[in-house]
Amino acid sequence: MPSPEPWRPTGPQWEAFLLESITLQIVGKATSEEDRARRTRWVEQFAAIHAAVPCAHQEPEWLIVADLITQCKVPGPVVELGAYQGGSTAKLSHVCADLGRPLIVCDSFQGLPTPEPWDTTHGTRFGRTKTYHAGDYAGKLEDVQRVVETFGRPDVVTYVPGWYAETLPTLDVYPAVVVEDADLAASVRTAFQYLWPKLLTGGYWLTHEAATPKVLAFAWDSTWWHLTLGQCPPQLRGAGTGLGPEARNLGWTVKC
């Protein structure tokens, strides 16, 4: 008889505790008074955005993303893959504006492409099952722009509309950070194929698929990486478990 699943705390009070905990950690990592003021400002800005705009991530996750972008010492732009309705983009725009980085946002602005049958349903390490359809997570370009104009810093943002397979091969950008939330395993692999060679050495690749085994197995497949990119797949921090209960889907790696 299989062992029962371990008990895990849930509910609004637990989520509020996690948010407060990660907020204290992120602000507490400040290296100067200027950095502390910036991080405190992000906490306030992100909370306002999260309350006003539907977001496809846990509220503490993008605070961790902001901290990771701060840790990256390589100069250069941030590329976001997957804008949804603009909440994540608005948050990233504040980080990029404060750190002097351009933000390049790549999205179909039509939602997900039609998934292959094998790529339609994904289970996660924490027991959730997601079934994807064409058009899921759609946000029109003008709606995303409006959110960023209202809540973010539109002066640092450039939009690249279209399917990844069509836009990424000719994207003339060499990112220091990639923030990927593409959902489908095929889309994540396409992103790696065309953006990993352009990611600067020492740059960060952040993924929102770290708790989805099927995506990891396909997009980090060693044979594909050797044949397509001529190297081993990078080690993913958070693979299978995320970065703790406050960031269950988030993982990251550094290009060596």
- In DSSP terms, 207 is beta-bridged to 180, 251
Whole-number Cα distances in Å, 177 to 15, 81, 128 = 28, 11, 28
At 8, the pLDDT band (50, 70, 90 cuts) reads: low
Q: Residue 38 in contact with residue 98, Cβ under 8 Å? A: yes
Number of separate helices (H) and strands (E) present in the chain: 9, 8
Average pLDDT taken over every residue of the chain: 94
Average pLDDT over residues 72-88: 98
Between CA 92 and CA 102 the distance in angstroms is 10
232 has pLDDT over 60: yes
3 has pLDDT over 70: no
**At the topology level of CATH, where does 12-254 sit?**
Rossmann fold (3.40.50)
7 has pLDDT over 50: no
* pLDDT of the residue at 159: 98
Residue type at 144?
A: V
Least Cα distance to 55 among 26, 21, 25, 92 occurs for 92
Q: Summarize pLDDT for 114-158 with one digit per residue, the tens.
A: 999 999 999 998 888 999 999 999 999 999 999 999 999 999 999
Across 2-6, 44-48, 241-245, least confident range:
2-6
Each domain of the chain, given as residue ranges in start order, spans: 12-254
Sheet-wide strand order for 177-180 = 157-161, 103-107, 78-81, 177-180, 204-207, 251-254
